[in-house]
């Protein structure tokens, strides 16, 4: 089961990577939405990274992390670039298998605010990542119709 989850995480991350490559700079930093595209992308990757970790103490933070930027309700002053988001995505991708190595499907998940076992929690994490990936592609399609590869 760990292999299947690793493949699903990698496929979802590949879709985010594809979005980053197709998004132009104007949309990337547009303030037409409450949360700019770059902010939604960072939020999705931030939570993917921390929730993939087997425990709070085992989270490998990205070196470019900025305090409070994960919260979509907060206005943040300095946007992340597409290159920075690609670097964050690569940081997560380099850890997928290691993060999942100790997964115990029936075991409790570490975030105390979720009443789920690890299996359900990883499904929830993937659903969150894909929710925002769909949102990002929808915004891109509103500007310029684009095709993407479903993985």
Instruction: Tell me, letter by letter, the H, E, C secondary structure of the chain.
Output: CHHHHHHHHHHHHHHHHHHHHHCCHHHHHCCCCCCCHHHHHHHHHHHHHHHHCCCHHHCCCCCCCCCCCCCCCCCCCCCCCHHHHHHHHHHHHCCHHHHHCCCCCCCECCCCCCCCEHHHHHHHHHHHHHHHHHHHHHHHHHHCCCCCCCC
pLDDT tens digits, 67-108 = 999 999 988 889 999 999 999 999 999 999 999 998 999 999
Average pLDDT over residues 9-22: 97
pLDDT of residue 149: 73
pLDDT of residue 145: 84
pLDDT of residue 75: 86
pLDDT tens digits, 20-62 = 999 999 999 998 998 999 999 999 999 999 999 988 999 999 9
Q: Which domains does the chain have, with CATH numbers?
A: 2-143 (1.20.120)
Single pTM value for the model: 0.94
Average pLDDT over residues 114-136: 96
Q: Does the structure show a pLDDT above 80 at 148?
A: no
pLDDT of residue 24: 94
């Amino acid at each position: 089961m760990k292999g299947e989850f690793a493949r699903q995480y990698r496929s979802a991350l590949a879709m985010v990577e594809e979005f980053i490559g197709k998004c132009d700079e104007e949309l990337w930093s547009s303030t037409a939405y409450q949360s700019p595209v770059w902010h939604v992308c960072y939020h999705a990757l931030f939570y993917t990274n921390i929730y993939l970790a087997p425990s709070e103490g085992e989270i490998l933070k990205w070196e470019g992390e900025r305090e409070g930027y994960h919260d979509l309700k907060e206005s943040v002053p300095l946007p992340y670039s597409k290159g920075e988001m690609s670097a964050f995505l690569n940081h997560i991708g380099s850890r997928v298998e290691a993060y999942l190595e100790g997964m115990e499907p029936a075991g409790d998940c570490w975030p105390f605010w979720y009443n789920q076992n690890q299996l359900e929690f990883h499904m929830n994490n993937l659903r969150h990542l894909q929710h925002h990936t769909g949102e990002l592609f929808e915004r891109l399609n509103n500007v310029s119709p684009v095709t993407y590869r479903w993985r």
